[in-house]
Structure 1
Amino acid sequence: MTTFFGSSKIGAVSVAMCCGLLMTGGCSLGPDDLPSVRGGIGDGYTVGIEFVSVMNLPNGADVMMDGLRVGEVRAVTVLEDSVNVTVGLKEGSRVPADVHAVIRQNTLLGDTYIALDHDRIGADEQFLRPGGQVSADHTSSPPQLEDTMAVLAYFVNGGSIQRIQDAMGRINTVMPTIPDVRRLASVVAVDLRDLASDTGEIDRMLDGFDATAVALNEKSQTLATLFAPEAQHYWRRVAVNIVSYISQILPSVGSVYQGGLWLVPMLNSLADTGDLFRTIWDKAPADTAKLSDFLRTTVLPFAQRPSVNIRSIESARGDQIVADVENLLRMLGAVK
């Protein structure tokens, strides 16, 4: 009976010691010690990337380049005015030395990762070597989630969407109906087609004008004599000797003919006007083609489907966050 009691006591002590060892071992085990479900990257090599802020970037986060996982985050070290992230890259990964590192998050509640953006790789491109470093001026830190939510809340609840809808409604009220626009476009298209088919006649007329101008320029000395003082005296004598007889019957004819010099300023003005019309006529085909292209590619598509295309949204630091805004608006049900 005594022996049995002693054996039970020894067994209880052994169980207590095993539980203590398990609890001690469990306390020393952290999330970073668990193996990654995505698989390791092997030995590879490590480089450093300096960020101003890394938000909640965890150890083991993916490092993506050209849509592929090329590495993972090994360690995050806080410095005086920046954060240094030690990244492990796969063996054989060629990362350009001037790469731009960005911390991204595909969805609002998704995992953060480091994206390596770069331009087209040239033949003489330099690559990061083991132990290399990417400085802070080649990195972009993510905006604070609270700031993004505040901007989106102000955009959604501040009436911006309603104002856009009101503006589109006012534009629709002043725009002609779609059948009228289509009829106008068809008429303009027919006119432009006719104008395009008759460009040969236009060219022939312009060539005639050019030949006339050249001929007048060659006879400029002869024409100048027509307005010399001697020529004026001649025409005045003709008016006195010939037209004066007619002016006796129609007095106004003689007065207008003899005082015809007052027409010179008007003729000069008409010459300037003709020159202006010549310039407008020369540019008419190109301007008409631009007008047709504007109506066909801009006015008609906008009249059929009025919409607002938000091309980019930048944060205060100049980062593009249009993808995050689109995902958030889709989660909120504002867009489809």
Structure 2
Amino acid sequence: MGAALLAATVGVAGCTAPDLADLPLPGGAPSGPAYRVTAEFTDVLDLVPQASVKVNDVTVGSVEKISLRGWTALVRLRIDRAVKLPGNATAAVRQTSLLGEKYVALAAPVTEAPAGQLDDDAVIPLARTKRSAEVEEVLAALGLLLNGGGLAQLKTINQELSAALEGREPAARDALRQLDAFVTGLDRQKADLVRAVDALDRLTGRLARQRAVIGDALSALDPGLTVLAEQREQLSDALTALGELGRVGARVVTESREDLVASLKALQPTLEQLVRAGDALPKSLDFMLSYPFPPNVTGAIVGDYINLSLTADLDAAAILANLFSAKPVAKPPSRSGTRPGGSTSGGRPGSTGGGQRPGGGTGNDRPGGVGPLLPGVLPPVCLPVGGLLPIDWLPPLLPECELPPDCELLRPGSVLPPGGLLPPGGVVPPGTIFPPGTKLPLGAILSPGCLLPPPDGATNGRTGGLLDVLGGGLLR
């Protein structure tokens, strides 16, 4: 009876005992929807399935499976669906305490910005996984240090450092202060240093991409460098000869300095005349190339005919003003003075007195009683023919060559008086007592007395013929 009861009891117990594989093990994650992620490790230590998966020390899942692929451990993690992690999350095998269990810690990256989202079947590569140091490793390193692995060396280093710094404490402190200032300066320029390193990185990258071009350039330089190497002696001789030529040239220039200066001074008048000639010289050369025809005659030649044109200025007002409307020149007062040769004249260059001149008369009357000259019409016989009118020029003692008393030539560089005239280019323009085109020294100034008075249209009621008008008899 007892044996039967025991057998029945064992049978019932065998039928109703739960399977151990279906029982929940310690750790794990809350039940519910989850997604699975695979993390790659080089070493998982003694991590086991059903170990916890934590985020910020909060359990969010469990280790579902650990497998091996070559030398890499593959850890399959089951994570609660409500936990959101970036796609570039990191994984690490850590320990709860000194002798506690291992677990997998997931976290956002600290060296880069989070990107994307960790989804089902995602893989965390080896580059983003690590493990913590084992207690055995820490104790082994400590044992190595305590058993003479480095204490003796540290003692020697300490003694030698103390001996080196003894008596040099101020210098050491100053060095430390300078090092601190240097490091501080580097820290302030961190952005510039980063930009410089980035720019250097871009430069090296570009050089790397153009490696073939640089190689071709160096290969193309090789023949030229070979020729230069072969002609090294000739180049050295040429440079030596060039140095000797420089010394000879310097000696020649030094010895011929005075002759060169004299030649340049002798060339100065010629250059001045070329400057005064202005554009007349190139125009004459242009005409010389087409002699005997002017350069613009080509447009006038048609077959065996030449077209001619004539331009006449028939401005009646200008003609009448030139003939009738100019004011007469005032009769200068008599002045005494002696000219070269014993004649009398005014007391300043450029003016003549009203005294007796050779041949009789006062100089205001022309021979034959025709009357004085028209103002501004000085006969060519009074001016130097074919040359400049010098500053100290005096008109000949002729009745036709009398100047107004206030007319004089001022030297170049003189102050321009009010009402005076600085002839452009030294050539007298119309409107003065001198014929237009008279040449003066460059920079010479005409005083106001040498300018013609403006026409006023006044008449004096005299009558006469054309010869009287041209001779100036009607203007007395």
TM-score (norm 2): 0.31
Which protein has the larger Cα radius of gyration, Structure 1 or Structure 2? Answer: 2
Relative contact order higher in (CA < 8 Å, ≥ 6 apart): 1
TM-score (norm 1): 0.42
